[in-house]
Structure 1
């Protein structure tokens, strides 16, 4: 496995970005891995490595770079009253981001990838968890000629009243998009999911929504107390199939 950290200059600062790809001659299809609200950490790096081992160039940006270079948050303790200050800090980091900001950062990554020998040019995939489900959804519509496959895993705020809401570009999507939904997820209300479902049906895009029985928000993170092994392995199977169909 080849790994490196690169600092990408954006109009708002320097975005520390993590790269993983196989230790053999490339180039490899690119998958952008958008972090969840807890931020970049070893747990996510391990997930990037799992994708990279099957033949992908995986790039994971620290989307909180405008405020911090790294975070130290234990998701299993955030709702402990003793950690109230850390929980509020996480929400502050989360709230400062907009879909527009993340799309600008995505373009910066594309510019970087254009000069990366190990990164195959052309069709790109993306995956995002929790808050980043909406970034996947939005990116698929903002970069329709580049994003060939995307997976939103227990995505939150997929529909908002903001002008850059992800669902507003559903009709622009040309690739295949997949939504993995936890059966129990208060961050994904039924009304929001119905709006996404209707947007998919109305526009006729290649989109699919799948519920994971018994799973809760955060089920795919192996160190999380809500980790659900069967659902996690199913989600990996879906990701591998999705990217195999569209990127290889």
Structure 2
């Protein structure tokens, strides 16, 4: 399912072309802790993965207009690691997202989590979720995100990653991006989208949504959704299943799992929405999905 020719030209219409100019990024470095808008943290369920046997650090990904801060983790020993792009929730690259990278590194992956809001704002500074959505999240062009993820893939190739074994996973906002990127880059072998929005309003920045590209996937996607998610109606999930069934081979090989009793963000072990059983089952499915698709 990989293709050495790079991202699909037919998907370039995802958003208007972006004119990159060198500028100072609002976020030039990753911070510790969590965004203010998700306080208080549920410390009793927060999972912390150690760094034993791993190389983990903040990095700077070269992009057309500067350097994108990101976190990466990989095993100390070995080379040509299969690569997983880890896409943030609306709250940016915080401790939970970094921990997901370490969990994947413990399984033998090179995992990269880029701060995809770096040009538009710092999610750590917002105390109100709606303000964060209005001031930062709504201003992120999909085309910019696709380009940044292409840059992350290129960085991985030059830093111990195996570009022929590329996967992607994302949560909430990042779940939506997982669907989109799996239709954008022919090198993606598989994706796992955690409760990513399937439909939405269209504009110049977000001209397509997963429902619009689900029939054109390059790598099969496993969608993990909560049956009690108030923000993602189950009829949209059912519609996505229909789209997948009518698409490419990778689309037809995709699958969606619904955890009937789980709310949105059931994998987020630092929040009250965390559901241990669903989160653990989803993680096992993620690992099996990547392995089954040669990652």
Q: Same fold (TM over 0.5)?
A: yes
- Residues 1:141 and 2:188 aligned together: no
Distance 1:161 1:69, change over 3 A: closer
Distance 1:13 1:165, change over 3 A: farther
Find the partner of 1:210 among 242, 254, 257: 257
Q: CA deviation at 1:158?
A: 4.4
- Residues 1:156 and 2:197 aligned together: yes
- Residues 1:114 and 2:183 aligned together: no
Partners of 1:244 and 1:69 in 2: how far apart?
35
Partners of 1:72 and 1:20 in 2: how far apart?
25
Contact 1:151 1:239 in 2 (8 A): yes
The C-alpha deviation readout for 1:62-96, integer Å capped at 9, x for no partner, is 011112356256xxxxxxxxx44x64124422111
Equivalent residues in 2 for 1:96-245 (5 A)? Answer: 96-116=139-159, 118-144=160-186, 146-158=187-199, 160-162=201-203, 163-203=207-247, 205=251, 206-245=253-292
Partners of 2:131 and 2:274 in 1: how far apart?
23
Distance 1:89 1:70, change over 3 A: closer
- Residues 1:56 and 2:109 aligned together: yes
Find the partner of 2:91 among 33, 38, 43: 38
Partners of 2:78 and 2:100 in 1: how far apart?
22
**Structure 2: tracts of 5 or more residues without a match:** 1-53
TM (norm. structure 2) is: 0.74
Contact 1:125 1:148 in 2 (8 A): yes
Identify the residue that residue 95 of structure 1 maps to in structure 2.
138
Q: Which runs of 4 or more aligned residues in structure 1 lie more than 4 Å from their structure 2 counterparts after TM superposition?
A: 157-160
- Greater share of strand: 1
Contact 1:19 1:59 in 2 (8 A): yes
- Measured on the aligned residues, the alpha-carbon RMSD in Å equals 1.9
SS in 1 for 2:265: coil
Aligned length: 236
The C-alpha deviation readout for 1:202-235, integer Å capped at 9, x for no partner, is 1152111110121111110111011100011001
